[in-house]
Structure formats: C-alpha cells, structure tokens
Amino acid sequence: MRVPEQREVRIAELEARLRARRTSGVRLPVALVCFLGALYLLYRELPDVAYALSPAEPLTLGREGEYRFEALASNRYVQMHGIPTPAALWGQDHQGPFLVVGFQDTPVLVRRAPLPGETWTSGRPPPPPLQTPFAVRGRLLAEARAPAYREAFLRGRQLSGLRPRDGQLWIVLQGERPREDWGAVLTGVLLVLFAAFNGWLALQGLGRLGQRATGA
C-alpha cells in the first residue's frame, strides 16, 4: 500500500474513533439518566396499570354486621354497604365537589360525589352527610398505598364511628373500575419501550468505552 493510501486509512480510523468518543461521551450519561428516569416513572405507574388489568368482578366486603375485613385487599375493585359516619370531609377538584365519609364500625372511608340533598355552598360550613345507608363500588386502597389521600386519612381518624384495623384505614374511590383506564396501560407500555431503548443505548456506550480502554 502506498504512503498516501496508508495515510488516508489512518486518518479515516482516527476520525471514526473521534466520532465514537463524541457519541459515547454524550450518549452514555444521557441514556443512563433516561433509563433510570423511565424505570422510576414506570414504578409510579405500575399500581394504575395493575388495577386497569385487575378482575372486573367486584370483591364483596359485606354489609352492616356481616363485614369480611379479612378480604380487604389494596388496589382491588370492591363493593360494600354501610351506614355513613355523622360527619364528612368535603373537598373540590376539577370534577366538582366531593366528600369523604366513613362507614360506621369499619376501617373504610369512601370518596364519593354528593348525593341529592347534599349541597355545599362556597363560603359556608359544609353540611353533614345524609345518614341513609348506601352501597358503593370502587377502587379500594390501603392507607399505606394511597399517599395522595394522606390528609383524608389524618382527618378521617377524627371521625366518630371509624375503626382502624391493625392501625390502618382504607379508602374506596367510588366509580373507579378496572378495564377503563387504558391510558395507564398505554403509558406503561411506552415507558417499558423507552427504558429498553435507553438501556440498549447505555450498553452500546459502555461497549465503546470498553473498546477504548483496551485500545481496540
């Protein structure tokens, strides 16, 4: 091989190595951050994905005097019947007003929409809940698995008639059913794919760093 040709080959090799260095230098840290971030978001999303794929048949927890507290299971679709506590906690979100009321002699709170006759006028004290026994179906969450409702649990312990079980309360989110929130499933799938892609990029970057370290 002539000298000019050898020089061109050598220059091409050096340029390839420089490109690999620039690529691995930028791609590896970014890929690792994206990979770990996707795993964290996936961890946060897993309960919603699991609930969306859980059985659509409600787990029956019983009624007054016939409760099956041994069947309490977080992140399950349940149904139960009970007598409301004399007081409730009122709030408002993007869907409008709601209240959290307990079932007498149970460890269970219920987040539900106001019933006809339960009207809260802004600027005035919220009214007590109607004392008519009612049935509810919805998503059951243990206190330890529902940080978004920490305030409701703290204030719920002050409601007369509520009975924590093993030191823990539970909450039923009325109307939340399995097989409806497919957005959570889609988000989970996209996060898995994003994590896998960035994991592959990170492995490629580590491979290039290994080649550099060995002088390949």
**Residue among 115, 128, 105 nearest 174 (CA):** 115
Domain ranges of the chain: 3-52+182-214, 59-174
d(CA 93, CA 133): 25
- Count of other CB atoms within 10 angstroms of residue 49: 20
d(CA 213, CA 63): 69
Q: What secondary structure, in 3-state letters, does 65-105 show?
A: CCCCHHHCCCCEEEEEEECEEEEEEEEEECCEEEEEEEECC
Q: Are 104 and 161 in contact (CB under 8 A)?
A: yes
- The CATH number of the structural domain formed by 59-174 is 2.40.50
- pTM for the model stands at 0.78
> Inter-axis angle of helices 3-52 and 182-214, to 10 degrees?
150
- pLDDT tens for each residue of the chain, 216 residues long: 555 556 565 656 655 655 555 544 447 888 889 999 999 999 999 999 999 999 999 999 999 999 999 999 999 999 999 999 999 999 888 888 899 999 999 999 999 999 888 887 777 788 889 999 999 999 999 999 999 899 989 998 888 889 999 999 999 999 999 988 788 889 999 999 999 998 888 888 777 776 666 655
